[in-house]
């Protein structure tokens, strides 16, 4: 797997999950760093009053958010 595909697939808040007896069941990964960063980017985009007046498709907004998240993660790994 190349570096580009792995970018941001690490868990944002890794945690361990335990069963009822207290033994570790498996690792619970939660949301990825990429998804978390894209959510933050989307929140910023949608909170901009100038942008909210534009007629953008939700798919365009999500692509823009993921693009910003990917760039943030690329710069984090430099």
pLDDT for 69: 94
Domain spans of the chain, in order of start: 3-76
pLDDT for 43: 94
pLDDT for 9: 78
Per 3-state DSSP, the chain is made up of helix, strand and coil in percentages (nearest 5) of 55, 15, 30
Per-residue pLDDT of the chain (78 residues; tens, 9 = 90+): 345 556 777 777 766 666 666 666 565 567 888 999 999 999 998 898 887 667 788 898 999 999 999 999 999 887
Give the Cα separation of 66 and 39 in Å (integer): 8
């Amino acid at each position: 797997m190349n570096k580009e595909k792995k970018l941001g697939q690490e868990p944002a808040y890794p945690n361990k999950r335990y069963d009822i007896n207290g033994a570790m069941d498996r690792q619970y990964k939660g949301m990825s760093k990429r998804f978390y960063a894209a959510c933050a980017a989307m929140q910023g985009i949608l909170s901009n009053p100038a942008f909210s007046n534009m007629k953008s498709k939700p798919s365009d907004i999500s692509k823009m958010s993921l693009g910003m998240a990917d760039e943030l993660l690329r710069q984090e790994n430099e």
